[in-house]
Chain A
Amino acid sequence: MNFHSVGFLAFLAIVVLLFWALANRRELRLTMLFAASLVFYGSYEAWYLSLILFSTLLDYWCGAQIHRAAQADDSRRKRRYLLISLVGNLGVLGFFKYTDWIVESVQLLCTTLGLEVDLWAARTSLLPAGLLDSNFGRIIVPVGISFYTFQTLSYTIDIYRGVLAPAKNLRDFGLFVAFFPQLVAGPIVRAIDFLPQLELRPRFDRQRLREGLWRMVTGLLKKVAIADILGAYLVDPVYNSPGDYSWVVHLLAVYGFAFQIYYDFSGYSDIAIGAAKLLGFDLPENFDLPYRSRSVREFWRRWHISLSTWVRDYIYFPLGGSRGSEWRVARNLLITMLVIGVWHGASILWVIYGLMQGLSMIGERFFERLRGGRPWATTRAKSAVSWFLTFNFTALTCMFVRALDADQILGVATEFGDGALGAIGEWGWWALIGGALLHWYPPAITEAVRRAFHRAPTPVVGIITGLAAGCVAVLVVGETPYIYFQF
């Protein structure tokens, strides 16, 4: 059930109406929301439910055991249950996401060494057919597994650290894991932020209603009017057939993909945040105009914020963070960014992507140290240079996100043809220019439009939402799932 589908909008309308009709019946209201979330997730594949229920049961039980052990001051038991949670969750995630990659890599190694083994066939014979993609024979990666695994891990780790009390009951915890607006592609919500919201009576006010609809409208338009069009009219043609286009078009396609993935993912996040608001919940922001950043470190503070703060709090800080020698900090940065890379997907491209991000951050830090900790970009010109370098670095590294393999990156980087700027369709230009302007023009303009939307009478707000939904229905280019669904 894609967010930009009539099916989802109808589903959301029914759930919102039911939710507020049950506003004073806490148990029924939350149970209905939990059931709706399971229906939503089950609409992708019914068997995915078994995984999310496994994860839910495991962490609910581990959380309770860790808490009990903490009360008994039994640190060994605490660690044991944390370990069970980590192994259980990361084991499931690792199995679905990384098995094929590992099998492929070992098979390649065996072939190189001249060993005659068919690991692929062995893997296929060991696994139930239902777990394999019927077309390509690969293990199916359940939608959203990377997101909810990190979410549930934060729950047991926070209880272990003593900053969170366990959920009061399994239903509440299940709702935290499966809450449908953010289930399949985030934002990654922490239990510490979500569970307390279940304790409050939902508040409904005009501003919240309008803000929720505003976020949904802008999210839908970001996805369908910019991201999908950039993909269909500029990025896909160039990546699919680089030999047909000149180097200028290649460069524009590289920038185009940077905008495509931003508008695709931030559009999804906006819809998630908006839908949650309509249900009286607040989700964390996930983006803050990342292409305005003037350093790679700043970029990661503005891009996929819920993931970068997650790895900061649960990986970077425990490794020592910015304390210790420069080598130690460099190592911490590298490991953290490598985890971010591999979290996205199982391929050498993601490893390289993570390494590039980590190395650039180390480089920035080194440069800053050379200047005695004084910032370099103190003038407007230097700021512009910093921004230019950062934007180009992030856009170019996005090639590793888009490409299916190294050959495709090489193709985009080296195979140039004759198709000049005219080869980009009118729609492609509109989406590229529109995407760039929307990102870089003064936020005051967006804010003024948002305020006008907030001030409008309720039926007018509905009509504007309907007009946007209608435009989305017209513009939608085939089946275009969100890019982050694959992660």
Chain B
Amino acid sequence: MSSAESQIGTGTLGLEDAEPDGSRPVIRGPILRQLLAVLVGVLVGMVLVDQLVVWWDIDQEGDDENRPIMQHEHIGWVNRPHFVNPEFETELDRFGLRNPEIPEDCPPDEVRLVGFGASRTFGAGGAMQSWCWNYALEELLAGRGFRVLNGGVSGYSLLQSCRRAEAYLDPLEPDLVFVVASPGAQLMLDSSLARRWVRAGDDSDEMIPADVVEGWPEALVPLVIDAHRYLNSVSGIYRRHRAKFQTGGNRVASVQRWMVSRDEPSEVAAQMLSATLDEAQALGAACAERGIELRILVLPEIWQDSAVTWRSFLRRNQQAGAPPVDTPRREPTTVLEELLQERGLATWNFFDEVDRMGRDRERFVMGDNHHWSKAGHEVIARGIVERLREEGLLQSLRERRAAAPRTRPFGENPFPDTGADGSRTP
């Protein structure tokens, strides 16, 4: 069809402005009908892709009831109790911890160690459950009456880890709590908007991510919540975007690749760091009150594990808040340790262990170039045993527990499973 033949909708309607080129007015009906046909087609096409995504996601990850994490008002998210993923041997216990269930008839004088932290504690990047350092540590301490629990949750900041650890102190009655802290920006992710929640209504238990409703006029908020709820329940694309947003957070650019160092932090970073250290100090006080030992395991970031990687990290991230390019590789862990110690917290620095791993990454680091392999987790476990020995904790913890055995195997889970969409807090 030639251009002239396909020209549609010319004719006279009247009441129009005169065009400078003197052409006849356009009859708009057929044009608008075509445009509407295109729009309807676009919507149909998008819905088709969207439903394909819904089908694909259910096929790949299972439905809502089997998602590994649940939203939480104060912590952002927590592991779902009893979550199972055979691909990585993952079988979380009744508390959402990545270890075998604590038996009802466990010895009342068993010494209980619990590690809290993010993905390197939980064991991510394809690490099997039995590869994680809590398993390796329990194996190294086998026959001495120790149980080691894995309280890691992927993506956690130090603030989240501390808050979660505090909630488990009474139900688990641990003897020693480890909290893993690294000096990078993940240390203080918690201020992200996506990690704050608001109640859907005054009388409602339902939690809605704060960023969904922020910025909207009060009168429109119920409508926005309804739209969010609806899209979240039917649209695969919407859910993926929400998930991306929540995972990535929205840290300001100046702290995207920030690390603790002797360099003065920006105002934003200083506020976030201070809130994080306050939380760690609160956990320290809660542990001290209960007679529980607390050690903060200061682990370097993966890009501190060799001189080349460190230089490259500093160089490429100057625009994203990284410390100055001449910062010594050990400095971030040393400074973080000092900051924690200033708050009265005991620390163990694992720089040397991670440095050793950096010399043979293929062996100690998973293919994602970030998380540890089985051998990497074993290095950490051995490092912990060495320090337990050095401080005489192997003996003293057993003696203290023997003198005051537990009266119950465990208490209530502070984070029970909260339903299909995981949006209700207890």
- Contact for B53 among A134, A240, A474, CB less than 8 A: A474
- Contact for A201 among B19, B45, B241, CB less than 8 A: B19
Minimum CB–CB distance for A105 against chain B, Å: 18
**Cα of A404 to Cα of B9 in the assembled complex, Å:** 53
| Pairwise interchain contact B32-A20, C-beta atoms closer than 8 A | yes
**Cα of A174 to Cα of B197 in the assembled complex, Å:** 44
Mark each residue of chain B from 254 to 269: 1 if its CB lies under 8 Å from any CB of chain A, else 0. 1000000000001000
| Pairwise interchain contact B240-A474, C-beta atoms closer than 8 A | yes
| Pairwise interchain contact B362-A418, C-beta atoms closer than 8 A | yes
Mark each residue of chain A from 237 to 265: 1 if its CB lies under 8 Å from any CB of chain B, else 0. 00111111000000000000000000000
| Pairwise interchain contact A243-B49, C-beta atoms closer than 8 A | no
- List the one stretch of A22-30, A46-54, A84-92 in contact with chain B: A22-30
Given contacts A206-B6, A209-B34, A462-B39, contact A24 B25 (CB under 8 A): yes
| Pairwise interchain contact A207-B32, C-beta atoms closer than 8 A | no
B1 at the interface (CB under 8 A from A): yes
Given contacts A24-B25, A201-B26, A473-B237, contact A462 B38 (CB under 8 A): yes
Contacts of A243 in B (CB 8 A): 306, 308-309, 312
| Pairwise interchain contact A242-B3, C-beta atoms closer than 8 A | no
| Pairwise interchain contact B6-A462, C-beta atoms closer than 8 A | no
Q: With CB as the reference atom, state the residue of chain A lying closest to B255.
A: A135
With an 8 Å Cβ cutoff, the count of chain B residues facing the other chain is: 59
| Pairwise interchain contact A463-B44, C-beta atoms closer than 8 A | yes
| Pairwise interchain contact A470-B8, C-beta atoms closer than 8 A | no
| Pairwise interchain contact A26-B19, C-beta atoms closer than 8 A | yes
Dominant SS among interface residues on chain B: helix
Q: With CB as the reference atom, state the residue of chain A lying closest to B23.
A: A201
| Pairwise interchain contact B26-A206, C-beta atoms closer than 8 A | no
Given contacts A136-B319, A241-B309, A244-B309, contact A458 B39 (CB under 8 A): no
| Pairwise interchain contact A240-B316, C-beta atoms closer than 8 A | yes
**Cα of A218 to Cα of B171 in the assembled complex, Å:** 58
B48 at the interface (CB under 8 A from A): yes
| Pairwise interchain contact B17-A466, C-beta atoms closer than 8 A | no
**Cα of A468 to Cα of B46 in the assembled complex, Å:** 8
Contacts of B19 in A (CB 8 A): 26, 199-201
With A28-B17, A200-B19, A241-B313 given, name 19 new contacts (CB 8 A): A16-B35, A26-B18, A200-B20, A201-B21, A202-B26, A204-B7, A204-B9, A207-B1, A209-B38, A241-B309, A404-B316, A417-B308, A458-B37, A459-B37, A466-B41, A466-B49, A467-B49, A469-B45, A473-B46
B residues in contact (CB < 8 Å) with A: 1, 3, 6-9, 13, 15-21, 23, 25-26, 28, 31-32, 34-35, 37-50, 53, 237, 240-241, 244, 248, 252-254, 266, 303, 306, 308-309, 312-313, 315-316, 318-319, 321, 362, 369
A residues in contact (CB < 8 Å) with B: 9, 13, 16-17, 20-21, 23-28, 134-136, 199-207, 209, 213, 239-244, 404-405, 407-408, 411, 415, 417-418, 458-471, 473-474, 478
